[in-house]
Structure 1
Amino acid sequence: MSANSVLLDFSLDPTRISDEVSRKDIVKICKEHLEKYLTGLKLIYDMLTDDGYLCILNAPGAVVITIRFFNQGLITINIEYYRAECEEPKISFEQTRELENGLVQILKLNHGQSLPALQRGPVTKYFPTADERVIEYDIDKVLYDKRSDFQKIQIVHSKSLGNMLVLDELQNIAEADLIYTETLMRRGVEDYKDKEICILGGGDGALLYELLKEKPKHVVMLEIDELVMDACNKYMNSICGDVLEKRKSSNYEIIVGDCMVYLNKYIKEKRKFDYVFGDLTDIPISDTPTGEIWDFIRTILEASFSVLKPTGKFMTHGNGVSCPESLRMYEAQLANLSSKVTFTKCTSFVPSFMEEWVFYQVQRESPAATEA
């Protein structure tokens, strides 16, 4: 079940929009061509706007069509209707293309474009990329949908990616995303055997599950949202195994709570780790490194280096390679830390993100480098 939005866009000489006779002819021809696919059309409203002209038509079956003229030389046609799961579309994509081509030819328009129906409803199929583009996923059902005290939590099923965790309308990890976890931990590059590790966040359990395969001495995971873990334990255990079910074993412990509270506790206790993983928020897309999320990132970085051993490493995810300005701002924050640090970075194409993602490995400068 979904509200379907069929969108068509056309460009033309702006003078044809400002001319009333020409505009009325265009509306008449658009209506005639639309009636080939949607019978019983009626013009129910029209008006001049500050930037052009708008008319609204309807057809049986609760179909509403808006035709909008923009003085800059653009016409948009939006066809909207509700479609039950068993129903055929009121206008197919093939018919939409026929409509587009017919109008371009008869009206001698400069350009036309039509899109497949956007399907909006209980099953969300559209999620943004790092640089604010929209990607449509092949999602066919919602398995989990709840709001915790901290965020909206969904687990949806994708035909190609498997089950996928979505937090606050942003895709986080799918069953097809092992490469994300392996790149974050630099599997095959870093040696975790007999190491002490702290994970900040990581509520999906994937990082903890994969790290335990490397035989560390102990891993503590600090996750604030118990509902995320409950949902992933039930629907994402192909990536987290049983670690979210057990919560504690001889070589790991999951603590539910604010990671900063426990980092401050570890600082007071002088507890040190070989690795700290920042599996929390992505680097924000912003003009300047200011605001609540950037403050949080700086606080996490300072606290993490306070609990790292001298040779320890801070491992984290960044953002997409399509966001170089944000990545540069993050690297500038690293340069301003109380501890002098160096970093390396690597990238991997993450299937559910449908883009190349950047991962950071940060450690203190060696004494020799500092002296030099």
Structure 2
Amino acid sequence: MSANSVLLDFSLDPTRISDEVSRKDIVKQCKEHLEKYLPGLKITYDMLTDDGYLCMLTAPGAIVTTIRFFNQGLITINIEYYRAECEAPKVSFEQTRELENNLVQKLKLNHGQSLPTLQRGPLTKYFPTADERVIEYDIDKVLYDKRSDFQKIQIVHSKSLGNMLVLDELQNIAEADLIYTETLMRRGVENYKDKEICILGGGDGALLYELLKESPKHVLMLEIDELVMQACNKYMNSICGDVLERRKAENYEIIVGDCMVYLSKYIKEKRKFDYVFGDLTDIPISDTPTGEIWEFIRSILESSFQVLKPGGKFMTHGNGVSCPESLQMYEEQLAKLSPKVSFTKCSAFVPSFMEEWVFYQVQREMDGAVNV
């Protein structure tokens, strides 16, 4: 079940909108063409607005259509109705395209565009890219949907990506995303044999599972959200194996708790690691590097380097290549660390993100890393 929205937009000479006779003629012809697909359509309300004109029409079946004129030379047509799961669409995409072409030709409009029907409801199909563009996914069912003390947790099934973890309505990792984990850990580049590793976050278990294949001495994972691990253990074990089930073995341990609390503890104990992974929040999209998330990122960086051995590395994910300003701000934060650090970075196309993602490897400058 879903609320379906059919969206069309057109551009034209602004003088045709400001002229009342012309505007009424456009509404009349739009209504006539819409009636071919929406029988019984009638005008129920119209009004002048500060930026143009709005006309509302209704049709049997609780179909509501709005035609809105913007003085700058834009017309939008929105058709909205409720669609049951077994019900055919009231207006197909083919009909929408036909309607668009007919209106452009009949009304001699400059430009027309129609979008596939947006479906809104309990089955979320739309997630944003890093720079806040909308992508529609081929999601056909929700497997898990709960809210923990920290976030909203969903696991959904995608026909092309497999099961996918969604946190606070942002895609995190899917069964098709091995490239994400392998790029984060730089498989084939970094040597983890006999190393001591700390993962901050990583509740899906994928990073821990893949690192254990590299024969480390010990991996410690600090994850705050128990429900994330329970959900991924049940529905995402193709990427996490049984590590979230067992929680502890000779070469790894998962601790449920705030990673900042444990980092402070390890700093006092002078405990050291060869690698620290920041598998937590992405670099924020913001105008300036201020606010709670940026403060958290700075705290994680500062604390992580206090528990790294000489020559140790901090490994983390950044954001999409479509967000160069935010990536630059993160690199500026790295430049402010003391003692000084150097970094390398790489990127990979992540299937469930549907975009290129940037990953960072950071270490003390004296260790010879080069900024690239």
The secondary structure found in structure 1 opposite 2:271 is coil
Corresponding letter in the other structure for 1:268: K
- State the TM-score, normalizing by the size of structure 1: 0.98
Tell whether the 8 Å contact from 2:153 to 2:166 is kept in structure 1 after alignment: yes
Question: 2:55 & 2:154 partners in 1: Cα distance?
Answer: 38
What does residue 362 of structure 1 align with?
Answer: 362
Distance 2:302 2:285 in 1: 21
Provide the C-alpha distance between the structure 1 equivalents of 2:106 and 2:311, rounded to a whole number of angstroms. Answer: 72
1:10-55 CA distance string (max 9 Å, x none)? 0111111111111111111001000001100111100000000001
**For 2:54, what is the secondary structure of its paired residue?**
strand
Following the alignment from structure 2 to structure 1, what is the Cα–Cα distance between the partners of residues 114 and 368? 62
Cα distance per residue 1:279-315 (max 9 Å; x no partner): 0000001111111000000000000000000110000
1:319-330 correspondence runs (5 A):
319-330=319-330
AA partner of residue 43 (structure 1) = I
Q: Name the residue aligned to 1:159.
A: 159
Distance 1:48 1:368 in 2: 66
Residue 279 of structure 2 aligns with which residue? 279
Give the alignment's Cα RMSD to 1 decimal.
0.9
What does residue 56 of structure 1 align with?
56
The DSSP-based 3-state class of the residue aligned with 1:260 is helix
Runs of 4+ in 1 over 6 A off after TM superposition: none
Cα deviation 1:116-168 (Å, max 9, x = unaligned): 10000001110000011111100011111111110000000000000000001
| Equivalent residue number for residue 73 of structure 2 | 73
Q: Distance in 2 between matches of 1:78 and 1:366?
A: 60
Partner of 2:236: 236
Q: 1:174 is matched with which residue?
A: 174
Corresponding residue for 1:200?
200
Equivalent residues in 2 for 1:20-169, closer than 5 Å: 20-169=20-169
Q: Which amino acid aligns with 2:176?
A: A
Does the alignment pair 1:247 with 2:247? yes
**1:306 alignment counterpart:** 306
Unaligned stretches of 5+ residues in structure 2: none
**Gaps spanning 5+ residues in structure 1: where?**
none
Distance 2:367 2:203 in 1: 36
Taking structure 1 as reference, are residues 222 and 72 closer, same or farther at Cα in structure 2, changes over 3 Å only? same
Q: Distance in 1 between matches of 2:324 and 2:150?
A: 29
1:90-118 per-position Cα deviation (integer Å, ceiling 9, x unaligned): 01011111111111111111110001100
**Kindly tell me: are residues 60 and 368 of structure 1, through their superposed partners in 2, closer, same or farther at Cα, counting changes over 3 Å?**
closer
Match of 1:12?
A: 12
Q: Give, in angstroms, the shift of residue 176 of structure 1.
A: 0.2
SS in 1 for 2:304: helix
Q: Does 1:336 align with 2:336?
A: yes
Per the TM alignment, residue 339 of structure 1 is displaced from its structure 2 partner at its CA by 2.0
Say if 2:283 and 2:327, in contact at 8 Å, map to a contact too.
yes
TM-score when scaled to structure 2?
0.98
